[in-house]
Structure 1
Amino acid sequence: MDFSGKKVLITGASRGIGKATAMAFAEKGAQVGLNYRNNIDEAKRTLKEMPGKGHQLFQKDIGKTENCKELIQEFIETYGRLDILVNNAGIFQHHKIDEIDFEEWTQTWETTFRTNLYAAAHLSYWASQKMMKSGGGRIVNVSSRGAFRGEPNAPAYGASKAALNAMSQSLAKKLAPHNIFVGVVAPGFTETEMGANALTPEERERLLAETSFKRMAKPEEVAHAILFLASEGAEYCSGAIIDVNGASYLRS
């Protein structure tokens, strides 16, 4: 896969899957805009490690609607065009229905959907407006195995990712005539800081037992699937959802 000269925007790019994806695109010749919310030290470290030249940080809390338009505008002002958008940013919060009060319940749903779904929807809107004028592009959304099998202790997370899948497939149909292709990568638990913080030792052992690999996915393995969907020649995969979960959950 060659991404020489491509202009790529990745949300949640300072660490984990986002960082691995940014590194992979950069290694293939792309210029990458790394969006992050507030961890500037981590973002600067990631930027420093990036191979190649022309990469840049974009600090925006995309959970705020107005920031989505601003992020796309600032990216276009910097690079002139947007070829590939990767909606990777996401949050995971436990909110067990049999343990919390209604105020915490509703707040978690609102916060989760703002970041995991609405931000991806708004960014896809503004990105597609630019891509339609420039001749096309790619949008890759990072979903989750939890969209299919359920997240009993984090139902807002599972629901937000299921909605992200449906939105992605709707946009794949609508945007194909405009030469914009939309794909989804749905990882299982991945060896990231967010994944580690979301698990108790007992939960981790249970998850490891679900896959014959006896390990979690590496961020680089998820990044590989993202790059495939964003690559030239993968156009007819528009609308596809690629599972990266070590055969721990198989859909029919």
Structure 2
Amino acid sequence: MNFPASGRRVLISGASRGLGRAVAQAFAANGDRVAVHYGSRAEEARATLDSLDGTGHTLVGGDLAEPAGAAGVADSAAEALGGIDVLVNNAAVNIRHPLPETPYEEWVALWQRHVSVNLLATANLSHLAARRMIEQGGGGRIVNIGSRGAFRGEPDHPAYGATKAAVHALGQSLAVSLAPHGIGVASVAPGFFATERVAPRLTGPEGAAILAQSPFHRVASAHEIAEAVLWLASPAAEWSSGTILDLNGASHLRT
């Protein structure tokens, strides 16, 4: 297998802002070419694209909740980049729905939405990208963005926690399945990290409690998570295939 350290063709789902943008910037700074996927935030995705070092990057829009949409995204990314060497499954929804407060019809709809985007889109994109990697013959990497919530529970966001646990399990299954083809699959499980979306929570009344979750008395930056993703996608990380890397500042310790 000949898996390069840079100059790779990278598809990042949900890259219009937040962690997806930070991941795109990390790969671009490494010398890779990036397909920036977005669902509906075209302007923000354009801002991500404009922020990237280097050339040869592209925008790819599409609804990953639909199987045909996922196929269109993979096809467009592969066509623009000339193939896919790395897939980062970052796209996700996380909508509050505590059971005691959520009507049944809303509960059902939100579970279906979380499963469609967080789990099935990840599975479908992984299939589409991995089959291309196999055909290309040079190996590859898939990195899934999971969550600390898969292990400690998410009482206000139970579908999010459950689907992220499923993403972790999917990654481990694919790690075994795809290793003979030189494709490494790993997941990261971040705790709380700072993005523009959660900034009001960090500066609001609950900010101190959020910071106190970690003995470092801070939250992660999106850049810290992105650097771990970049490493897991590197040639040096092949032996980490199948891992679920905790990135939570010792705020939750698994046994």
Per-residue deviation, 1:156: 0.2
The aligned residue for residue 125 of structure 1 is: 127
Question: 2: distance between equivalents of 1:87 and 1:13?
Answer: 10
The aligned counterpart of 1:96 is 98
Compared CA separation, residues 197 and 106, structure 1 to 2 (3 A): farther
Q: Is the Cα–Cα contact under 8 Å of residues 8 and 30 in structure 1 kept in the other structure?
A: yes
Contact 1:3-1:25 within 8 A present in 2 as well: no
TM-score for the superposition, normalised by structure 1: 0.95
1:83 match: 85
Report what 1:234 is aligned to: 237
Q: Is residue 145 from structure 1 mapped to residue 148 from structure 2 by the alignment?
A: yes
Query: In structure 1, the residue corresponding to 2:99 is in which secondary structure?
Result: coil
Q: Is 1:186 aligned to 2:195, yes or no? A: no
Unaligned ranges ≥5, structure 2: none
Which portions of structure 1, spanning 4 or more consecutive aligned residues, are displaced by more than 6 angstroms?
Answer: 197-200
User: What displacement does 1:199 show?
Assistant: 7.7
Contact 2:67–2:124 at 8 Å: present in 1 too? Answer: yes
What secondary structure is seen at the aligned counterpart in 1 of 2:147?
coil
Equivalent residues of 1:92, 1:198 under 8 A apart: no
State the percentage of identical aligned residues. 48
**Paired positions, count:** 251
Moved more, 231-240 or 63-72: 63-72
Aligned to 2:231, the other structure's residue is in SS state helix
Distance 2:151 2:191 in 1: 11
2:142 maps to a residue whose letter is I
Contact 2:60 2:73 in 1 (8 A): yes
- Mapped to 1, the partners of 2:172 and 2:210 lie a distance apart of 28
**Is the CA contact 1:189–1:195 (under 8 Å) kept in the aligned structure 2?**
no
Instruction: Give the corresponding residue for 1:157.
Output: 160
In structure 1, which of residues 211, 224, 228 is the aligned counterpart of residue 227 of structure 2? Answer: 224
Alignment of 1:170-209 (within 5 A): 170-196=173-199, 201-209=204-212
Contact (CA 8 Å) 1:13, 1:89: kept in 2 or not? yes
Q: Does structure 1 residue 55 correspond to structure 2 residue 67?
A: no
Secondary structure of 1:233's match? helix
Name the residue aligned to 1:166.
Answer: 169
Q: Distance in 1 between matches of 2:62 and 2:196?
A: 20
Q: Secondary structure at the match of 2:60?
A: strand
Instruction: Give, in whole Å, the separation in 1 of the partners of 2:208 and 2:115.
Output: 28
**CA distance, structure 2, for counterparts of residue 200 and residue 94 of structure 1:** 20
Q: Which of these residues, 40, 43, 47, is aligned with residue 41 of structure 1? A: 43
SS at match of 1:17: helix
How far is the alpha carbon of 1:155 from its aligned partner?
0.3
User: 2:248 corresponds to which residue?
Assistant: 245
**Paired residue secondary structure (2:236):** coil
Q: CA deviation at 1:32?
A: 0.3
Q: How does 1:3-14 map to 2 (within 5 A)?
A: 3-14=5-16
Unaligned runs of 5+ in 1: none
Provide TM-score, normalisation by structure 2: 0.94
- Cα pair 1:144 1:188 within 8 Å, conserved: yes
Q: What RMSD, in angstroms, separates the aligned Cα atoms of the two structures?
A: 1.5
User: Match for residue 68 of structure 1?
Assistant: 70
CA distance in 2 between partners of 1:52 and 1:25 (Å): 10
Q: CA deviation at 1:79?
A: 1.7
